[in-house]
Structures are given as C-alpha cells and as structure tokens.
C-alpha cells in the first residue's frame, strides 16, 4: 500500500532563538514531495505533483501566513524547553 505522513519540526542550535527554523514536510511513500522551510519562506516541490501543489499553495497568502506564523510557536516552545533543560542542570 501507500503511505502518507506529515512531519513538522523546529530546529535550533543555541539559546538565541533568532536562528530557529520551522520545517513542514509532506511525505508520500517515504519521499518528501513538498516542503515548507521558514528560511525559504515558501513551499518547494520535489516531484511533479509536489511542484504543482507548491505553486498553488504559494499563491494562497492565507496558507503561507499560517505556515510562517508557526515559527513564533516554535520559538515559544523552544524557550520553554530551553528553560526546563537549564533549570535541571
């Protein structure tokens, strides 16, 4: 059968959260076909179907604003995680 999944992740490497990156992967049968990367600021398609959908989604300003807003949620969560870790050590 076929397998669909969506992986969303926040990546940061220091206490300074200004470099945090939000990545939203759309995966079909273990291959990423569309990815939103907050550094790029838009969707990128990696397959024919992905390129087609990325163009549609990039033209939807509401959807792009929603994805870009996820960076703020990442920062809030990362700040909580960072404080929890530093309080324990």
Model confidence at 89: pLDDT above 70: no
Going through the chain in order, the beta strands assigned E by DSSP cover 4-11, 21-28, 31-37, 42-45
**CA dihedral sign of residues 4, 12, 66, 39:** negative
The pLDDT tens digits of the residues spanning 10-23 come to 998 888 888 899 99
Q: Where are the domains of the chain?
A: 4-87
Q: Which two tokens stand for residue 87?
A: 């309080």
- Mean pLDDT, the chain, as a whole number? 91
> What is the pTM for the complete model shown?
0.84
Dist. CA 68–CA 65, nearest whole Å:
5
Given this model, what pLDDT does residue 38 score? 95
């Amino acid at each position: 059968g076929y397998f669909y999944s969506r992986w969303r992740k926040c990546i940061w490497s220091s206490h300074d959260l200004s470099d945090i990156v939000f990545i939203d992967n759309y995966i079909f049968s273990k291959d990423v076909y569309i990815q939103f990367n907050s550094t790029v600021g838009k969707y990128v398609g990696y397959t024919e179907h992905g390129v087609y959908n990325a163009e549609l989604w990039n033209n939807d300003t509401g959807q792009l604003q929603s994805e870009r807003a996820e960076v703020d949620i990442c920062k809030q969560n990362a700040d909580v995680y960072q404080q929890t870790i530093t309080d324990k050590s």
